[in-house]
Amino acid sequence: MAFRVSISTFGKSLRVRRVANVSAPLANASPFLRTGWAARPPGTNNGHGFRFTPACFITSDAFLSRLAKGKAETDDTHYHHPASVLPDSAEQLSLLVKDPDQPENSKVLRVAIIGAPNAGKSTLSNQLLGRKVFAVSKKVHTTRARALGVLTEDDTQIILLDTPGLTTPTKVKRHQLEKSLLEDPWNTVKEAGLVVVMVDVSDKWACNKLDFEVLKCLTQHPDVPAVLVLNKVDLLKSKSRLLEITADLTCGVVNGRKLQVRRVIKPPWAERRTDREARTSGSGDEEKPGGDVADGEGSEALSGLSKEQLRALKTQQGWAHFKDVFMVSAVDGEDVETLKRYLVVGAKPGSWQYHSDVLTDQTPEEICTNTVREKLLEYLPKEVPYTMTQAIDLWHDRENGELDIAVKLYVKKESHMKMVIGQAGQMVARIAREAGDDLSTVFLREVKLRLSVKVKN
Ligand SMILES: Nc1nc2c(ncn2[C@@H]2O[C@H](COP(=O)(O)OP(=O)(O)O)[C@@H](O)[C@H]2O)c(=O)[nH]1
Ligand SMILES: [Mg+2]
């Protein structure tokens, strides 16, 4: 069984239908049907000049008409190999400042990806770029500084601004985070041509209400167009929930048009379970949205919004000015392709900002440190990686093309050292192997990564 989401029109009704056959033809679908969730095999042409992918999105007529003209057609013959990162810092730096290889009719779009920690922002950026340049993990605050990724295709350059999750002064203090985490996302949005707001639909807290920090950001920059990306749809058992989530997070309005979503009337037992879930959830790493208005002065000072505006935002559930809504699984390349086409179509005439060989503005060393940190976060209890530091001892580009890297990991306690090393050194060996493999795909060469651990108070 699969679900197909169909929109007759934003003004009239929004329906969810259960379709028995995942490859059911779309011929009898409403002319306003945007795309079918698994309605067709990936990449199947619908006969109108553009392809359906399994991603499900609700979008504007203007965008669709541009798509229908063929601009955004997926064409496998124009596959671009993603750029890579030069393993030599100086070379990478000179590439970053190299004059862009400006084509005629160049187009550009700066995209700020914002959202609560763990929404999948870095996963989406990596998938869009075609290489894993940003660290990803289940633990919050994996991304600690903003960085950009550059996607260059034909005459279009998309600059992706991956941000740390929007956070508050209280959380920065609590988690001993860098102060820059507070300012970076705000500045990033200011510089963007499009804001992508990511929401994890598998997170019960995030689904009911937009993150307070996100709302503040959007309110402060109302002139920057924003789209909503509902992520991790693969984890949502009841796909019909997506429509309710969309209605909540958009205040029922998308691109100036009213949505009408009929809520599913739940049987009493289902309601009871939802109550129970709400009471018992919310432990561990989660950061609940909305709870930090008492953060007061910090928030106000940073956002430039008045106390009254902040108070009003606290009760605001969604943002009524999203241009479009996408429902994707960022881990799925096909889903993300749809979003990528959308960004390419949305790029405006303008000069490229980077040479087409640039993939990211991170230094090779930063990528290495972040990759190792990602594995530490993945495999160790959070207090260990949160209190660890790293130092690169050796960085050697061999004549045979291999890259030799040695990293020293400094832990705070003897007990942490034992955990990092693991039984018979298995943990540290695994982290080195997996981080080395990831780095090989970024630097496009064999990477030999060695890790050693030391206690340093
Ligand atoms: N199942 C599933 N997991 C996802 C998806 N997108 C991201 N994740 C996972 O969610 C976690 C947080 O992702 P990350 O990109 O680091 O989130 P960020 O903090 O917003 O940058 C990681 O464990 C990802 O593998 C998705 O579409 N489906
Ligand atoms: Mg991230």
- pLDDT tens-digit profile of 260-305? 655 555 555 555 544 444 444 443 444 443 333 344 444 455 567 7
The domain that holds 313 is classified in CATH as: 3.40.50.300
Instruction: State the distance from the centre of ligand 1 to the C-alpha of 202, rounded, in angstroms.
Output: 11
- pLDDT tens-digit profile of 198-215? 999 999 877 889 988 899
Q: Which residues contact 328 (CB under 8 A, 6 or more apart)?
A: 55, 56, 57, 124, 229, 230, 231, 233, 335, 336, 338, 339
Of 114, 118, 202, 328, the one to substitute when testing ligand 1's pocket (max ligand atoms within 8 A of C-beta) is: 118
Instruction: State the distance from the centre of ligand 1 to the C-alpha of 332, rounded, in angstroms.
Output: 11
Domain boundary among 319, 348, 377: 348
Structural tokens at position 341: 């086409």
Does residue 114 sit in the same domain as residue 219?
yes
Does residue 265 sit in the same domain as residue 313?
yes
Kindly report the average pLDDT of the chain as a whole number.
76
Nearest CA to ligand 1 atom 9: 120
Taking CA atoms, 102 is separated from 139, 183, 350, 354, in Å, by 40, 32, 10, 9
Residue 427 lies in a domain: yes
- pLDDT tens-digit profile of 434-449? 999 999 999 999 999 9
pLDDT at site 17? 33
Does residue 191 sit in the same domain as residue 278?
yes
From the CA of 286, the nearest ligand is 1
Residue 249 lies in a domain: yes
Domain range spanning residue 236?
A: 107-348
Does residue 342 sit in the same domain as residue 378?
no
Asked if 359 and 149 touch (Cβ cutoff 8 Å), the reply is yes
pLDDT at site 309? 81
Strand ranges in 226-286 using DSSP code E only, listed in sequence order: 226-231, 253-254, 257-258
Closest CA to 102 of 349, 360, 362: 349
Residue 62 lies in a domain: no
- pLDDT tens-digit profile of 84-136? 899 999 999 999 999 999 999 999 999 999 988 889 999 999 999 999 999 88
Q: First-to-last CA distance in the chain?
A: 56
Q: Which residues contact 61 (CB under 8 A, 6 or more apart)?
A: none
pLDDT at site 69? 58
Lowest mean pLDDT among 64-73, 157-166, 176-185: 176-185
- Cβ atoms within 10 Å, residue 361: 18
Does residue 326 sit in the same domain as residue 435?
no
Of 113, 114, 136, the one to substitute when testing ligand 1's pocket (max ligand atoms within 8 A of C-beta) is: 136
Question: Which of the pair, 73 or 236, is modelled with greater confidence?
Answer: 236
Does residue 296 sit in the same domain as residue 225?
yes
pLDDT at site 41? 37
pLDDT at site 258? 86
Instruction: State the distance from the centre of ligand 1 to the C-alpha of 300, rounded, in angstroms.
Output: 30
pLDDT at site 446? 94
DSSP single-letter state for residue 159: E
The answer on whether 165 is annotated among ligand-binding residues is: yes
Instruction: State the distance from the centre of ligand 2 to the C-alpha of 405, rounded, in angstroms.
Output: 24
Residue 154 lies in a domain: yes
Residue 58 lies in a domain: no
Highest-pLDDT range among 40-54, 179-193, 393-407: 393-407
Does residue 337 sit in the same domain as residue 384?
no
Nearest CA to ligand 1 atom 11: 138
pLDDT at site 176? 52
Residue 18 lies in a domain: no
As a whole number of angstroms, the distance between CA 86 and CA 363 comes to: 9
Does residue 155 sit in the same domain as residue 246?
yes
Does residue 156 sit in the same domain as residue 183?
yes
Does residue 159 sit in the same domain as residue 282?
yes
Q: How many residues does the chain have?
A: 457
Does residue 211 sit in the same domain as residue 278?
yes
Does residue 253 sit in the same domain as residue 194?
yes
The domain that holds 379 is classified in CATH as: 3.30.300.20
The answer on whether 298 is annotated among ligand-binding residues is: no
Highest-pLDDT range among 8-22, 73-87, 223-237, 306-320: 223-237
Question: How many domains does the chain divide into?
Answer: 2
Residue 402 pLDDT > 90, yes or no? yes
Domain boundary among 348, 378, 413: 348
- pLDDT tens-digit profile of 20-55? 222 223 333 322 223 333 333 333 443 333 333 344
pLDDT at site 2? 34
Of 122, 123, 138, the one to substitute when testing ligand 1's pocket (max ligand atoms within 8 A of C-beta) is: 123
Please state the rounded mean pLDDT for residues 176-185.
50
Lowest mean pLDDT among 31-35, 317-321, 363-367: 31-35
Residue 128 lies in a domain: yes
As a whole number of angstroms, the distance between CA 362 and CA 149 comes to: 9
Residue 244 lies in a domain: yes
Which residues contact ligand 1 via a Cβ below 6 A?
Answer: 115, 117-123, 136-138, 142-143, 165, 231-232, 234-235, 329-331
Domain boundary among 348, 372, 393: 348
Q: Strands 322-327 and 348-349: what pairing?
A: unpaired
Instruction: State the distance from the centre of ligand 2 to the C-alpha of 165, rounded, in angstroms.
Output: 7
Please state the rounded mean pLDDT for residues 311-340.
90
Closest CA to 116 of 292, 272, 250: 292
The answer on whether 164 is annotated among ligand-binding residues is: yes
Q: Helices (H), strands (E): how many in the chain?
A: 16, 17
